[in-house]
């Protein structure tokens, strides 16, 4: 999820536990969409026989699950085995280790720093476990997301994969925030609401941004997919810019300096589209951010342009560096129907009864973790929109509407989460893919 500076009917889905997107794309050919899944849920009573039949079919599909898949050895495809089983005794893979430079070189070997590092071992294990889940879920996602798939199915697949691999359980482990699936000129914060069916087109540029948490330690990481190599310069620019930001980051580094480095790299790229050469610009009102316990935006912003911010990164901090490039104006605006929300840390009690009830559901299930309308739907809540609007208007909940550049432009994003350990910088979400 990103930080910006800018001014239904419910369909319970909790039983759709191992939906594979490759299966659903076949369904679109039959003009069937994912409606049969809905029927299955709604088919109590009269439709019972039909329901049974459909369950059977699904089980058959399940049997086709391969025994090996991408990700860790032993993971299935689609992913279903908890990473705690694939990495016994918390032996999770560490992220990319980067030694500190200049004035901080001493940290790598300092006994005092090593002692401080050991004191944080528990958090590091939680973060590595969440990162492993992210890598395995996204590798499967990358293999099945292609033109013709429905974003509703993609979101379900990513979220069900995350729940299975992290062994989602209350506030102990689960989804870190809604699955962002923003296309073309939209850069961030779109996820389908129930009933939305957006089909990926072959010339689309799709940003996939999802999060995993273990005990409130959130991994926030995103990548961009396209199926037309004309967009390669855009994706390369943003990947390069994000890696530049990660490389520049460190204890005592000024946030504004990181933004300047990102901007310089991003703007060194250009792209040819429709016979025109277009400069690639950063989306200057979007930012990376530090991450707090159960809080995706911890209060510090990592700009992607030189903004002169003198705030420094500090030891122990967890950061998500995300950069966005665009062929458009370089500014995002809120556009379209909202899906993403998060409860603010401090708040008053609403007076409207429907808002009070919804707030208690939000507190019980999400706390301060961001959520989307589909997550409320699957809890069995309905007719809550007015209550939700009230909570937003009262400043108890923040709405995060889709953030988009101008129509006709293309935007890309890459994002990683890293921690500034006392001894080294560890890029937790790093994988072979990005
Ligand atoms: Co983020």
Domain boundary assignment for the chain: 3-15+121-336+403-427, 340-400
CB 70 within 8 A of CB 433: no
**Which residue among the candidates 37, 132, 220, 240 is catalytic per the annotation?**
220
pLDDT of residue 162: 98
pLDDT of residue 79: 95
Element containing residue 178 per DSSP (H, E): strand 173-183
Residues of the chain below pLDDT 70: 7-71
Pick the CATH number of 3-15+121-336+403-427 from 3.40.50.300, 3.60.20.10, 3.30.499.10, 3.90.230.10: 3.90.230.10
Show the tokens assigned to 163. 């729940």
Distances (CA, A) of 320 to 180, 198, 365: 15, 28, 24
Interval between CA 96 and ligand 1 midpoint (Å): 19
Interval between CA 402 and ligand 1 midpoint (Å): 14
Specify burial of residue 199 (Cβ count, 10 A radius: 0-12, 13-18, 19+): middle
pLDDT of residue 71: 58
* CA distance linking residue 140 with residue 158, whole number of Å: 9
Q: Is 103 annotated as a binding residue?
A: no
- Could you report the per-residue pLDDT of 382-408, keeping only the tens digit for each? 999 999 999 999 999 999 999 999 999
**Which residue among the candidates 134, 185, 213, 297 is catalytic per the annotation?**
297
The strand pairing partners of 274, in sequence order, are none
**Which residue among the candidates 126, 209, 377, 405 is catalytic per the annotation?**
209
Q: Is 32 annotated as a binding residue?
A: no
Q: Is 44 annotated as a binding residue?
A: no
Q: Is 185 annotated as a binding residue?
A: no
Q: Is 297 annotated as a binding residue?
A: yes
What is the CATH number assigned to the segment(s) 340-400? 1.10.10.10
The distance from CA 364 to its chain's CA centroid, rounded to whole angstroms, is: 22
pLDDT of residue 48: 40
Q: 121 catalytic, yes or no?
A: no
pLDDT of residue 52: 42
* CA distance linking residue 317 with residue 157, whole number of Å: 31
Question: What are the backbone angles phi and psi of residue 401, rounded to the nearest 5°?
Answer: -70, 165
Report angle CA 346, 304, 296 to the nearest 5 degrees. 25
Cis peptide before 27 (omega within 30 of 0): no
pLDDT of residue 28: 36
Distances (CA, A) of 416 to 242, 287, 319: 8, 13, 8
pLDDT of residue 58: 44
Q: 220 catalytic, yes or no?
A: yes
Q: 289 catalytic, yes or no?
A: yes
């Amino acid at each position: 999820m990103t930080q910006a500076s800018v001014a239904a009917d419910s369909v319970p889905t909790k039983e759709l536990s191992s939906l594979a997107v490759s299966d659903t794309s076949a369904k679109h050919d039959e003009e069937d969409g994912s409606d049969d899944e809905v029927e299955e849920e709604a088919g109590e009573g009269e439709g019972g026989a039909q329901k049974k039949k459909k369950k059977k079919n699904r089980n058959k599909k399940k049997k086709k699950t391969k025994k090996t898949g991408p990700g860790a050895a032993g993971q299935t495809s689609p992913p279903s085995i908890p990473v705690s089983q694939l990495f016994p005794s918390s032996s999770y893979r560490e992220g990319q280790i980067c030694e500190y430079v200049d004035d901080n070189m001493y940290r790598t070997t300092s006994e005092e720093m090593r002692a401080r590092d050991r004191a944080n071992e528990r958090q590091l294990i939680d973060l590595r476990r969440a990162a492993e889940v992210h890598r395995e879920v996204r590798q499967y996602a990358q293999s099945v997301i292609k033109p013709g798939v429905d974003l509703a199915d993609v979101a379900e697949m990513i979220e069900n994969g995350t729940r299975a691999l992290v062994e989602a359980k209350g506030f102990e482990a689960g989804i870190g925030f809604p699955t962002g699936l923003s296309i073309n000129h939209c850069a961030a914060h779109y996820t389908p609401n129930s009933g939305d069916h957006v089909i990926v087109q072959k010339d689309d540029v799709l940003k996939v941004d999802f999060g995993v948490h273990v005990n409130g330690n959130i991994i926030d990481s995103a990548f961009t997919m396209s199926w037309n190599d004309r967009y390669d310069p855009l994706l390369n620019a943003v990947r390069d810019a994000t890696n530049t930001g990660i490389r520049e980051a460190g204890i005592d580094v000024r946030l504004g300096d990181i933004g300047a480095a990102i901007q310089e790299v991003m703007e060194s790229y250009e792209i040819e589209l429709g016979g025109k050469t277009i400069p690639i610009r950063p989306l200057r009102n979007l930012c990376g951010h530090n991450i707090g316990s159960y809080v995706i935006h911890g209060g510090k912003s990592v700009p992607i342009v030189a903004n002169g911010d003198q705030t420094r990164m500090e030891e122990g901090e967890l950061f998500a560096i995300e950069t966005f490039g665009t062929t458009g104006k370089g500014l995002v605006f809120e556009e379209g129907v909202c899906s993403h929300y998060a409860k603010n840390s401090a708040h008053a009690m609403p007076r409207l009864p429907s808002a009070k009830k919804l707030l208690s559901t939000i507190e019980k299930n999400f706390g301060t973790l961001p959520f989307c309308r589909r997550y409320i739907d699957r809890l069995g809540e309905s007719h809550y929109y007015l209550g939700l609007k009230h909570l937003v208007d009262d400043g108890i909940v923040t709405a995060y509407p889709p953030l988009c550049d101008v129509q006709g432009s293309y935007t890309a994003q890459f994002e990683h989460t890293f921690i500034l350990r006392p001894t080294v910088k560890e890029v937790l979400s790093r994988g072979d893919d990005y």
